[in-house]
A and B are shown apart, each in its own frame.
Chain A
Amino acid sequence: MSWDDCEKCEELLQPYLDRVLSDEERAEAERHLEGCSYCRKRYVFEEQIRQFVRQSVVEEMPPELKQKLAALRTPL
């Protein structure tokens, strides 16, 4: 395991989590992650932080707004 491998693995982090890597690249990342706890911990953390941000910033639509939107419909 070399630092070059870890550098390459870091580059693949975002597209890996976005599921946009080619089969070959994904296999390459997974091979590295299997043997490298340094990168593996950081991948797990990145997934958690994305989830945390997503849950934190999502705000549900106020019910009264939905009624206002429905009122904009063309009358029958």
Chain B
Amino acid sequence: MSDAPEVDARRLAEEARDRVRFEEEALELADQVYRVARRFVSTREEAEDLMQETYARAFRSWRSFQPGTNMRAWLLRILTNLNIDRGRRVQRAPDTQPLEEGDYFLYNKLEEDGGSAEGRVDDRLSQDDAVAALSAVPHDFRDVIVLVDIGDFSYADAAQILEIPIGTVMSRLHRGRRILKHELADRAVGSAVS
């Protein structure tokens, strides 16, 4: 009985230590989380707001994080939910139009446009073209591309973050990359691409 206050004090100290450790680890991941956040939304301001809301919520609910699991994926799940909740992410019907072009589409278009496609990526496309092409990909597809190709998440992590089946991640990635290449081809060769 007499050592109860000491037990409480020790427990509080342990909890404070765990919280500090959690917060430090979360902040170390902020650069990587931002890279994804920035391409989930249109502007830098929106990305900064989203990051602050995400970290405020993460710091409040740190006890729900299970140590030893993927904290980066945990933070991105909070961020994705906030992005949807705040209506930044325009909900739209999935694009189901057939896209006939195959995976070699962009290469073949550059070849057709004259000469070889080799060594022409930098010549024909600017950094702004790449940003605009990615922005033109519908959200449902773009989110998966951003998580896997920019954020280096596995298919399984992307499925968990977006709360969709892994098969849907794979099909959206497949289609999204084709749409992206079509958008890049439009910018490299001209909008006459069809």
Interfacial residues, chain A to chain B (CB-CB below 8 A): 10-11, 13-14, 18, 20, 41-42, 44-46, 48-50, 52-62, 65-66, 68-70, 72-74, 76
B interface residue numbers (CB < 8 A to A): 16, 19-20, 23, 27, 30-31, 34-35, 38-39, 44, 48, 51-52, 55-56, 59, 102-104, 106-107, 117-118, 121-122, 125-127, 129-131, 133-134, 148-150, 155, 173-174, 177, 180-181, 184
Q: B23 to chain A: which residues have CB within 8 Å?
A: 73-74
Whole-angstrom CA separation of A72 from B57 in the bound complex: 10
Q: When A and B form their complex, what is the total count of cross-chain residue pairs whose Cβ atoms lie within 8 Å? A: 100
Knowing A49-B181, A76-B20, the reply to whether A54 touches B149 (Cβ < 8 A) is yes
Residues of B within 8 A of A69 (CB): 27, 30, 51-52, 55
What residues of chain B lie closer than 8 Å to A10, measured between beta carbons?
102-104
Complex CA–CA separation, A14 to B104 (angstroms): 11
Q: Are B34's CB and A42's CB within 8 A?
A: no
Contact B131 A56 (CB under 8 A): yes
**Known: A41-B107, A49-B106, A58-B150. Is A72-B130 also a contact (CB below 8 A)?**
no
